[in-house]
Structure 1
Amino acid sequence: MGITWNMSSLQCRARNSGQRDFGLAVGTGPDGLIFARNLMPIPWHAQTPMTSPRVLQLSTVHPWDDNRICRKICTSLAEAGYDVTLMAREPNSSDSEPPAGVDLVVLPSVKGRMSRGLSSLGIWRRVRRLRPDIVHFHDPELIPAALILKLFGYRVIYDVHEHVPDDIMEKEWIPSFLRRVVSVITDVIERTASSRFDAIFAVTRHIARRFPERRTRLLRNFPRLVEIGDETESPGSASREDARLVFVGGITPQRGIRQMVTAVGLCDRTNPVLDILGECVDEPLSAWLADQASSGKIILHGWVEKGAASQWMASSRAGLLPYLPSKAHIEALPTKLFEYMGAGIPVIASDFPRWREIIDAHQCGIVADPTDPSAIAAAVDWIYDNPAEAKAMGARGRQAIESELNWESEAETMKSVYSTLLG
């Protein structure tokens, strides 16, 4: 591809190789794209032979250090012996490193929805230069480019992270009188295009039902076992008086932030403090949160790197997830639900049927009406007033992740589909 490699441009430390430093080779392609290759050794059983199939993970929306795409999918495929390339935009964290055995193509940042759409349409030319055996893409914006790649004979997998028509109904930047029309048109396009793709992965059953059954497989966003680590103090944190509540994720009004913060102030106890880890781009909500933080009841930490967030969760009293009712939320399986469970802490979550089913089945938390701060406060009080049972809830949630609700189980489904497509 005419890439010029600089073997000493960046340095990264091999996490599993003592104190040895390995280079992150960085190169620039003919069109200015940045390429990177992690030179950390991978286990001998996962070494990629010269004849290994080349697969491309493609996204023009997600950063390349996205947990599902990079840490789960790319890592699993590389460990299975595939020649993996990840093409995505710049990372969230400047400290991120690509997984061992994964080549990286960093796309230039594009501002504006229209510019991003036009950029996505032309991405097929860049993909063809890589000549992958399978193109696995993650954004609905890439559907036109994926159809073009199908015309050239590429095997294409569509990874559907959201129920796009439902999401459109809640997009505030789309005029309300147009949302229904845009939603229906998007639904028709997505369903029609899906019949041309070789396989479809869906994060939830609600999403999967929209696509052809014979081509569609569930690929749920459960945590990796390595993310939850070894058994530590986390199951015991629910009984510590100094342990605080935690919320991790993007901060938006739709995620019940106002109700959650109000609930902390309504608790019977005087000591609950809520740590909020995440970014807020809503200016009125940011201003309101800053005012609330002056009470000392909440602490705003901003965006926190995933490893640090995992440690924070493990040392907390309970994890809060009070998403407000909407089509997108009611049928969703939020990653944070399972990450709280993996951290060994009880969950206080919205009382949606699917969420209740999971929490009741594993007896790992409490559901409450997310629109009622007093109901959330009552759940928080119960956690503090019943430390032994709260500790047991956390332990049961962790056990569920270790035994069944983990990425390693889902990865077997993904690898089976890949093997079938490659014949």
Structure 2
Amino acid sequence: MKICMLTTVHPPFDTRIYHKEAVSLAKKYDVVVIAPSDEEINRVVGDVEVKTIKKAKNKIFHFLTLWRIFLSGLKEDCDIYHCHELGSLFLGVIFKLVNGTKLVYDAHEHWPSQFLEDIGINDTNILYGLLEKIILKYELFLSGFSDSILAVSESVAERFNNSGKPLRVILNVPVLQYSLCVDTCTKNSRELIYMGGKLQTSHGLQECYDAVTRLRADYPDIILTIVGKLDDRLNLVLKEDSDHFNITGILPYDKMYKRISEGGIGLVFFQKVSYNMYIGLPNKLFDYMSCGLPVVASDFPEIRRVLEDCKCGILVGGNGRYDIYGAIHYLIKNPDKAREMGENGKKAVEERYNWDRMEVKLFEIYSDPTLII
């Protein structure tokens, strides 16, 4: 059986698509990843065939990317198309109608709100509610052609509860072989870690900056390390104060975990700029936990569910007793409590929140009779 991991917006080596799902499925099946990229790739990487399609230089011409990916996917003649967003789902429906292939929809986001955020329409716009409903109906219509639906969290899965399709939650949790190889790292309790692909103001970096500035009065050696990229404005602001802020850029998987493990506190401080962000369950939360860091995080539903279950950090905002400054101050002032939270999180990842457990679910989905050709 041949599986095509099809994406129209994610990079070819996306953590969930390639490093987790494709690598796992390649243990039993033939797997090809087709994704847009500026880099031309056409080779087997770790038992997974990776093919990139030239990405349109301007979002206005995204339809050209869709067309190129459609042609490439058609040539592969796969048994199952595993689609990761609305664009690839649309293509997957065409493949199913034309060739009778099987279709898996993997919902990473709450696309009705995320799509509007991507094109610059927020919930203050008079048309927001109407457009969100239209996109939701479109997504539900397309997903009705799928043979199975995956979702990254319970909140994301909720909108498919009445779809009548097999529905499973596959969390974006760490691959243990990467995250547990850094146990020997020496931690700096006064280094705050904030990681992400490309961090923006919606990720609360301004609030983190302000908190660190205040904390210097008591802890002059405090530092905030950004493991990832920043948008241009934030990059300029933090570079002006390089003594207390460090930007590593995007790191390879193994180096990323090593760098996180050297820190003392992990930050997940989102702003409620969209419903998608509000119900999100960010990968970085589990990555911090796997590296033994106590977490300071926004009091959002899915994040709260994990932190209260594992007792591995402090929620800020909402009706909590701490703001971000107070939470960081508490953890630095109480190292034993910080260490306990870090150990709780690490244990939870080792026992429950890890990809080994999700891989079992993934294989169960792919062994279901509805997906067997």
Q: What TM-score does the superposition give when structure 2 sets the normalisation length?
A: 0.89
**1:21-420 mapped onto 2 (5 Å cutoff):** 53-79=1-27, 81-90=28-37, 99-121=45-67, 123-152=69-98, 153-171=100-118, 173-174=120-121, 176-211=125-160, 212-230=163-181, 232-233=183-184, 237=187, 240=188, 243-249=190-196, 250-267=198-215, 268-281=218-231, 283-291=232-240, 293-294=241-242, 296-325=243-272, 326-369=274-317, 375-420=323-368
Q: CA deviation at 1:395?
A: 1.2
Shift of 1:302: 2.5
Show CA shifts across 1:278-324 (max 9, x none): 2123x333333333x25x22122232233222111111111111111
CA RMSD, 1 decimal: 2.6
Question: How far apart are 1:356 and its partner, in Å?
Answer: 2.2
Note the residue ranges of structure 2 that are not aligned, 5 or more in a row.
none
Alignment partner of 2:13: what SS?
coil
The letter for the 2-side match of 1:136 is H
Provide the TM-score with structure 1 as the length reference: 0.79
Residues in 2 aligned to 1:253 and 1:93: alpha-carbon distance in whole angstroms: 32
Cα drift, residue 170 of structure 1: 2.9
1:346 touches 1:393 (CA, 8 Å); kept in 2? Answer: yes
SS in 1 for 2:220: coil
SS at structure 1 position matched to 2:137: helix
CA–CA separation in structure 1 for the residues paired with 2:193 and 2:44: 28
Contact 1:323 1:370 in 2 (8 A): no
Distance change >3 Å, CA 113–CA 371, structure 1 → 2: farther
What do the CA deviations read for 1:323-361 (whole angstroms, capped 9, x no partner)?
A: 112422221110000000001111111122332221122
Distance across 2 between alignment mates of 1:171 and 1:100: 32
- The residue type paired with residue 251 of structure 1 is L
Native 8 Å contact 2:225 2:247 kept in 1: yes
CA drift at 1:393: 1.2
Alpha-carbon shift at residue 125 of structure 1 (Å): 3.1
Deviations 1:114-151 (A, max 9, x none): 32234314533322221111111112112332221111
Give, in angstroms, the shift of residue 112 of structure 1: 2.2
Rate the CA distance shift 1:121–1:215 in 2: closer, same or farther, 3 A.
farther
Q: Which has the higher contact order (CA 8 A, sep 6+)?
A: 2
State the 1:92 CA deviation: 8.6
Look up the equivalent residue of 2:70 and give its one-letter code. W
Q: 1:183 to 1:191 in 2, by over 3 A?
A: same
SS in 1 for 2:26: helix
Secondary structure class of the residue paired with 1:274 = strand
Cα deviation 1:180-239 (Å, max 9, x = unaligned): 3332221111101111111111111122121215322111111111121246135x72xx
Helix, strand or coil for the counterpart of 1:197?
coil
Letter in 1 for 2:36: R
Q: C-alpha distance in 2, partners of 1:167/1:302? A: 24
Question: What is the rounded CA distance, in whole Å, between the counterparts of 1:400 and 1:343 in structure 2?
Answer: 11
Do the aligned partners of residues 170 and 130 (structure 1) sit closer, same or farther apart at CA in structure 2, a change above 3 Å counting?
closer
The 3 A distance-change label for structure 1 pair 188 and 122 is farther
Aligned equivalents of 2:39 and 2:285: distance in 1? 22
* Alpha carbons of structure 1 residues 223 and 168: separation in structure 2 relative to 1, 3 Å: same
Q: Secondary structure at the match of 1:248?
A: strand
**Aligned 8 A contact 1:345 1:394 in 2:** yes
2:268–2:297 Cα contact (<8 Å) kept:
yes
- Asked whether the equivalents of residues 4 and 32 of structure 2 are also in contact (C-alpha less than 8 Å), the reply is yes
1:362-416 deviations in whole A, cap 9, x for unaligned? 11111112899x8211111111111122112111111100101111111212111
CA pair 103-145 structure 1, distance change in 2 beyond 3 A: same
Higher Cα Rg, which structure = 1
- Post-superposition shift, 1:260? 0.6
For residue 176 of structure 2, what is the amino acid of its counterpart? L
Q: Cα 1:377–1:336, aligned 2, differ >3 Å: closer, same or farther?
A: same
Q: Which moved more, 1:58-67 or 1:136-145?
A: 136-145
Which SS does the other structure have where 1:367 is aligned?
strand
Change (3 A) 1:247 1:371: farther
User: Structure 1 stretches of 5 or more lacking a match?
Assistant: 1-52
Q: Which amino acid aligns with 1:101?
A: D
Distance 1:370 1:228 in 2: 31
1:246 aligned partner, one-letter code: I
Residue 221 of structure 1 contacts residue 335 of structure 1 at CA under 8 Å; is this kept in 2?
A: yes
